[in-house]
Chain A
């Protein structure tokens, strides 16, 4: 039976991973097609730009441009070319920036991931104790205070919070919240010092991003904990003579964590795409504003690449949370 258990866990991982690969493939097709859906392409918006400035290109040169970028080929061929490159990490050229997409994304990726992971950790780290407190002392002043605060966190759009923070930082602390690096690190290469400096400066933006997610998690955790705390197995544990806090941590919390864990996958891409406006307001160079620009300028290779990365993050996040879930809940592992 022991061997059987580990075999079924192995099967489960294999099964979930192969599903993820298929999902990523489907996501790549969709993100490629969606970008091509709007009428016109990069060349037409490029030409529109040119004609505005008065330099009107000939029809031939336009067609030449299309051929150069491979835009005259059927969609399938274009996709296959693009996908073949993407597997090798070559996402083509950004038409707007006239640079390699991979290099461009790589430049923005570090700060983006840093902001997202920091935001996620803050949301989790704060939601866990607050949700636990609210459930254990439901109906107390603290519970009401945290719940009211959480409502505000959900209701206020985060770009507004960003504006507030920007104003307060500027007015009272004479600090620019958008500055991710201290002056001495601005042009310095990445180092441990620069990393922690950036981390420190990202605390407020990450907190702004984390607030809404945290508030939602607190509500979910509180409701789940209350649900679990009235289950018979809790009374059984109490009847064994367990201390109340130990009991809540070992039994109801463990079961209430399931929905908590299953949100990781969805939170990661939300954090990145959700950071677009906050990043714009605070002027932080992350993938969000880059994606927005790419979409506006019909810079399809750049936009497709970012979309693919976002959806891959979602799939990987979901895979991770599923594996984590099967680890903390044997029922999921053994039923599949």
Chain B
């Protein structure tokens, strides 16, 4: 698979740098008519500066909710958060879960320190406000600028994301643009205040395949140019393989395996990761017959299986162990951690 990556100095993306965001034991519960449902079950991971973290999982595994929790844009009526999300700001650290959602401090971080790109650029823009109006608003929320200066900044940002004829785009509505341009406008809006972390929630899912590659390349270029960390949330392992430095594989609210991309793709340890990789179509390797699929279906979050969440579908599940005990983290290589009884030394 071709790596979408811009050549850069090795020390720029060190694995040992202080993380921008440290997520520890994050839990997300939803209050529903069926009772309280756990969507994210105590996950921990770091987002490192200037690196791309790919978060992969099937729909419903809790990856989007995790991203929303970092932004504190979770649905406040039904969603309960636990654990900690610590953001590093220079020398200071700040637990985002300790902040009020609508507080000045949280609103400063949101869109200022952390930018967010949504899956559906069509519905994520207001249909009755111009693109310009919405980007200018983002600028003025975080910088004390007049309208003309903010507009200038918005135009520069649109040009920065490779938007043709940005002055013209400013006066257009989202529904007048093509899908690719719309997503570019969305990226420009997320970047216009110079965030240190960009969270992209399925940024290419709504786009056609050729546009997908363009957007991914653009994200990699922008990340390099603006020294950002990127958290890329996707269900597409191909996207992660192409773009991520670090990978976290999620299944049913748990991170089952995480580590540097090279290590994960070369020596995947968790049966779920292995099965995911095998189910990927490949252009280079010749394979006969139908693509491999993982047997069974994802259990409903309302009745999560006990023990390891994957044991109901795992071909190598050890009965009496995997269905009883939740596996803890085991370090298998440098920074490469897997939660699986098969690799647990005990």
Contacts and interface: CB of A to CB of B under 8 A. Distances in A.
Contact of A240 (B110, B120, B128, B172): B110
A242 B110 CA distance: 9
B138 A240 contact: yes
Interface in B88-109: 102, 107-109
Contacts of A255: 126-128
The 9 closest A-B pairs by CB, nearest first: A241-B111, A240-B111, A241-B107, A239-B116, A241-B110, A232-B123, A233-B126, A240-B138, A236-B124
A240 B141 contact: yes
B112 interface: yes
Contacts of A236: 116, 118, 124-125, 134, 186, 189
B168 interface: yes
A328 interface: yes
A1 interface: yes
B206 to A, nearest CB: 11
Given A241-B111, A254-B128, A331-B175, A231 B123 contact: yes
B71 A239 contact: yes
Interface in A204-238: 231-233, 235-238
Contact of B124 (A235, A250, A254, A331): A235
B310 interface: no
Interface of B: 71, 73, 102, 107-112, 116, 118, 120, 123-129, 134, 137-138, 141-142, 168, 171-173, 175, 186, 189-190
B222 to A, nearest CB: 17
Interface string A158-177: 00000000000000000000
A235 B142 CA distance: 17
A231 B124 CA distance: 8
Given A236-B189, A241-B107, 9 more contacts: A232-B118, A233-B124, A233-B126, A235-B73, A236-B118, A236-B186, A251-B129, A254-B126, A331-B173
Contacts of A233: 123-127
A251 B174 CA distance: 14
A237 B129 CA distance: 12
Nearest to B106: A241
Contacts of A329: 127-128
Interface string A1-44: 11000000000000000000000000000000000000000000
23 contacts: A1-B168, A1-B171, A1-B172, A231-B123, A232-B124, A233-B124, A236-B116, A236-B189, A237-B126, A237-B137, A239-B110, A239-B111, A240-B111, A240-B189, A241-B110, A241-B138, A241-B142, A251-B126, A254-B126, A328-B128, A330-B128, A330-B173, A331-B175
A243 interface: yes
Interface of A: 1-2, 231-233, 235-244, 250-251, 254-255, 328-331
A239 B125 CA distance: 12
Secondary structure class of chain A's binding surface, majority of residues: helix
A28 B259 CA distance: 78
B110 A2 contact: no
Contacts of A243: 102, 107
Q: Which of B112, B127, B168, B172 lies at the interface centre, i.e. has the most chain A CB atoms within 10 A of its CB?
A: B127
Contacts of A239: 71, 73, 110-111, 116, 118, 190
Contacts of B129: 250-251, 254
A255 B173 CA distance: 14
Contacts of B109: 241
B127 A331 contact: yes
Contacts of A241: 107-112, 138, 141-142
Given A232-B120, A330-B173, A331-B175, A238 B110 contact: yes
Given A231-B123, A232-B118, A233-B125, A242 B107 contact: yes
A254 B130 CA distance: 13
B107 to A, nearest CB: 4
Q: Which of A233, A250, A329, A331 lies at the interface centre, i.e. has the most chain B CB atoms within 10 A of its CB?
A: A233
Contacts of B71: 239
A242 B136 CA distance: 13
Contacts of A254: 126, 128-129
A242 B141 contact: yes
A235 B118 contact: yes
A254 B102 CA distance: 21
Contacts of A331: 127-128, 173, 175
A35 B341 CA distance: 89
Contacts of B168: 1
